[in-house]
A and B are shown apart, each in its own frame.
Chain A
Amino acid sequence: MKLTLRVWRQKNTDAPGAMSTYEVDGISQDMSFLEMLDTLNEELILAGDDPVAFDHDCREGICGACSLVINGDAHGPERTTTCQLHMRSFDDGDTIDIEPWRASAFPVVKDLVVDRSAFDRIIQAGGYISAPTGTAPDAHATPVPKPDADFAFEHAECIGCGACVAACPNGSAMLFTSAKVNHLNVLPQGAPERETRVLDMVEQMDSEGFGGCTLTGECATACPKGIPLPSISAMNKEWLRATRKARR
């Protein structure tokens, strides 16, 4: 396959950026999208140019490191992570636009790499449980009803990639925060911090400069792990409950 790539190039956070056009040839349909970018970078390095910086780690769709907006879609046209997107989703001769996540809370570090530490600070604000140290408790020591376990598991699937923020026209982190809040709030292990967790995490989310939710549903459509849109409503319910109890 021969492709034309239009890639966002930006030296650092403060430098202005622009789209640069590259031609790549000899791309196999079985390559992943990141392997296609590796091919481009090898050519750039051989030509003495600066390779395109992009985030990647496990390349198995489970770590949440990769993060590209491909032709206007976070993680590209398939409902998966960029590393699990394959070139068979494109046609020979296509022009592909590649941009970084866009949100003021995710500043561009270089080219396609953005700083997602705002998510870490949201987790630090309440995305944990207080557990005694020592040997691991027996798995059946704390019974969890099956529907609650399923609900928690569905939300625990969030890998924190930030596609929800990238897809949202308001740059809102509501889907990410709701996945983390719902995951722990439904479980008995998360019960002691149930109120403070949702209040603190939402407060941190707001202070990071993410936008508000207007329920466009773009986040849930982009999410590679299928975190559903009603998660946001479930978090709103938790937030209202905690606000009524006024426990901080």
Chain B
Amino acid sequence: MTRTLWDSTVGKKVIMAVSGLVMLLYLVVHMIGNLKIFFGSDEFNGYAHWLRVMGEPFLHHEWALWIVRVVLVAAVVLHAVSAYQLSRRDLRARPITYVHKRPRASYATRTMRYGGIILGLFIVWHILDLTTGTVHSGGFQHGHPYQNVVDTFSTWYGNVIYIVAMLALGLHVQHGFWSVAQTLGAGRASRDRALKTLANVLALVLTVGFISVPVAVMTGVVS
């Protein structure tokens, strides 16, 4: 069954759909967690600390966090490798383009591949900036995420990278979520409108929720 999934274009899309759903679920949780920054540094830092002790005493310190990280890395790798292999195949299947060109499909649909690459690069920067602190502007302080977030969004490039990536995320989720439903066989003519609406709402809520943090830092609401 695993071979059937991996060898078939339909199966590989199923892998993309499931890994995409895992990442989407994480993003919703992540976005809600981010909003705690509006309730002050104590609550935000306290939440960040809880992420490390979550699951204790059943799980050892940080085990739950590492489980989440491993699942997420697996999802990102499966999603990206499937996307790369399917894209290679798609480009080979249409080697000659039409002389008479016209825009095909919606903007969100056409930008899935570029958007995915932008998001992949963003994730690398985001982890180096706010998890490891390797490329963090100013002094990165472990255990003080509130101050680190404010530092990042006090630089112009931090805001630009983040906001561009979150707009790309919104577009990716808009087409991606609806596609997940189609790929997993849940698409019907009768529920198409509901699925598209849900995809739009998810994309909008995630984008607005994430972008609200740098906007709040820029406008001085969070400092």
Contact = CB atoms under 8 A, between A and B. Distances in A.
Interface of A: 6, 8, 19, 69, 71-73, 97, 99, 102-105, 168-172, 199, 202-203, 205-206, 209-218, 228-230, 232-241, 243-244, 246
Interface stretch (B56-64, B99-107, B158-166, B211-219): B99-107
Contacts of B175: 215
Contacts of B7: 206
B9 A212 contact: yes
B94 A213 contact: no
A240 B93 contact: no
Contact of A243 (B1, B97, B183): B1
A239 B97 CA distance: 30
Contact of B105 (A171, A216, A237): A216
* Centre residue among B13, B101, B112, B181 by max chain A CB count within 10 A: B13
Interface in B55-99: 86, 89-99
B105 A212 contact: no
B135 interface: no
B128 interface: no
A58 to B, nearest CB: 26
Interface centre among A71, A169, A212, A218 (most CB of B within 10 A): A212
A211 B100 contact: no
A170 B93 contact: yes
A46 B99 CA distance: 29
B33 interface: no
Contacts of A218: 104-105
